[in-house]
Amino acid sequence: MFDKTYYEVSLKKVRIEDEFWSRYVKLIETVAIPYQWDALNNRIEDAEPSYCTQNFKIAGGEHSGSFHGFVFQDTDLSKWLEAIAYMLEIHPNEQWEKIADEAIELIEKAQQESGYLNTYFTIKEPGAKWTNLRECHELYTAGHLIEAATAYYKATGKDKILKVVCKLADHIDETFGIEEGKIHGYDGHQEIELALVKLYEVTGEIRYLNLSQYFIDARGTEPYYFDIESEKRGYTKHFEDDFMYKKDYNQTHLPVRQQTEAVGHAVRAVYMYSAMADLASKMKDQELLETCKTLWNNIITKKLYITGSIGSTSYGEAFTFDYDLPNDTNYSETCASIGLIFFAHRMLKIEANATYADEMERALYNTVLSGMSLDGKSFFYVNPLEVWPEACEHSPIKAHVKAARQKWFGCACCPPNVARLLMSIGAYIYTVSENEIYTHLYISGRVDVELQGHKIGLIQKSNYPWSGVINFEVEVEATKQFSLALRIPGWCKSHTVMVNNKPVQVSIKRGYAFINREWENHDTITLELMMPIELMQANPRVRENAGKVAIQRGPMIYCLEEADNVPNLSTITLSSEFDLTASYNENLLSGIVEIKGTGYTVDEAESNSLLYNSYQLKEKPIEIKAVPYCMWGNREHGEMLTWIRYK
């Protein structure tokens, strides 16, 4: 399985010039990053306060006061700093680099001499460090800071924050492990594992890679560490939620290599799987890779929403059981889909298999983009597939579902997570091997790579996701033979490939169309992915969707909004007797392909006013309009529906 090595292309080598994605990248750079900095400094009116930078100032001795926020509040600043790093890597900005350097100063001052760094325990419970790993996220918090530091170092070359996290990682290495006198434990919320791999990649220090492997292999073994630490501290709790004490909640029910089903808190799960894939790749660990593949298959065949979201219950923000995918009470945390993208991307660096890129694309174009408003200033934590605002306001079981995005959250993990992913989206488009360039995502722009000592430029142009016609131009200094591998998405039933305007036969391997030839300067490739409107049905075991369809076109899932349709969306029925049509509307939601057609709705004027009555079908035809799911909730408050009745 490790017959090839696939390399991620540096952000510095990718330039995005795409009508769809450039808008999002610019939105993060010019709106979301400044907005989130204001949020971290409690400057957003009528929003939940963050206290994040204030905590660092107190921990560093600049201010006096008490800690505020969640025990993991530090991570909001870390993820924001990581987003800044990606921005500086592709668009240097002196003003924001100066602000980032000032934030790094705050972080450095908060670090203790031992290397320990966590504002909650520094300020509020200095004597309780490393005593409640199950609940208190100390290693999770450290992991996010390590990720930010490696990104910032790669972007700027400045090593102040890198030295801070190396000192922190060294402290963790001195504290945890199998050796006598060390803590034989691991964190309740996985994150440190994947962060340590990144630190190893930047520093070359093998201890960090070995420590990551320790945390993975210690998890779920006997004696059960979380019970041991709980007894030592007298069974005190940080949170009162009972689900935190269930072993499957934080994936400690079995040793990691024996796990076959995605269970528990969805974000924790996919962060752990991402680290497992990293370690499998670095260590050439076939057993760990097979575990990753088993867990991946369980998610995408039995526990994945059509929008690429995961986590079907608010109770523990978790997976439940196979095919349990409710639409109106699901959790589908934005961070969980981001974690799924991390997992998919890492698997692509082990094996170029389009199933990973397909699900990366599904999550990206649907749930992740849904997580942020079109103005970059409000966010969804939860991403439902059906919303009835009145129920959200009055039903306790739907209280977690919001009909409108929020300005900020007390637990604000999602907004900076969206920012860091979208700012680094260029790193997800391509991978390269010895003599191959793989295109996983269709985003216009340019990439420059080196294959066997030859510099190659690849220019991509398209109107994706609205059109399936993608054009490439090759730039080489001299004739060079290599393979260009273009992903044929799973949603695409038919495609054509032309080179220099002439049709060519291609070899399809694991979902990629391979074109191997002697390339000359300015050779062109045209890939046309047929993009009809598809009515999708769910597996019959998904009970909530029996007799219903979802509308898909290309990578986009569509939904109905009350703004475009009759109220009480659940009464709408699509019919095989009517066709749906797609057209571009530049004036709607910043420019989208909308889908229109005719359907039916219950004729309430003809219906009896009784609560229950003898069955009688009284319908009337109506015009319907569907918009991309990722853009719902950007207009007036109202209902939303993704799965629609069909006859």
**Catalytic positions, written as ranges:** 317, 413
Largest CA distance in the chain: 79
Angstrom distance (rounded) from CA 641 to CA 229:
46
Angstrom distance (rounded) from CA 52 to CA 597:
49
Angstrom distance (rounded) from CA 624 to CA 622:
6
Q: At what angle do helices 334-348 and 414-423 cross, to 10 degrees?
A: 30
Look at the alpha carbons of 234, 239, 243, 248 in this order and tell me if their dihedral is positive or negative.
Answer: negative
How many Å separate Cα 527 from the centre of its chain?
A: 27
Question: Which two tokens mark 273?
Answer: 């799987």
Kindly list the distances between the CA atom of residue 488 and the CA atoms of 13, 37, 429, in Å, as whole numbers in the listed order: 24, 39, 14
102 burial (CB, 10 Å; 0-12 / 13-18 / 19+) is exposed
390 burial (CB, 10 Å; 0-12 / 13-18 / 19+) is exposed
Residue/partner pairs of 517-522 with CB below 8 Å, 24 or more apart? 517/481, 518/479, 518/480, 518/481, 519/456, 519/474, 519/476, 519/479, 519/480, 519/481, 519/482, 519/484, 520/474, 520/476, 520/479, 521/474, 521/475, 521/476, 521/477, 522/473, 522/474, 522/475
C-beta neighbour count of 539 within 10 angstroms: 12
Q: Are 291 and 371 in contact (CB under 8 A)?
A: no
Ramachandran bin of 590, using left for φ above 0, alpha for ψ from -120 to 50, beta for the remaining angles: left
Q: Give me the residues paired with residue 560 across strands.
A: 626, 641
Question: Which two tokens mark 107?
Answer: 């972080």
564 burial (CB, 10 Å; 0-12 / 13-18 / 19+) is middle
Amino acid letter at 226? F
Q: Which of 505, 524, 523 is nearest to 515 (CA)?
A: 505
Q: At what angle do helices 192-203 and 266-283 cross, to 10 degrees?
A: 30
Angstrom distance (rounded) from CA 80 to CA 57:
17
Angstrom distance (rounded) from CA 148 to CA 341:
18
* Order of all β-strands in the sheet with 7-8: 7-8, 430-433, 436-439, 480-487, 512-519, 507-509
430-433 and 7-8 as β-strands: parallel, antiparallel, unpaired?
Answer: antiparallel
Q: Which of 2, 13, 17 is nearest to 443 (CA)?
A: 17
Query: Tokens 């290495």 correspond to what residue?
Result: 173
Residue 271 sits at φ, ψ, to 5 deg, of -65, -40
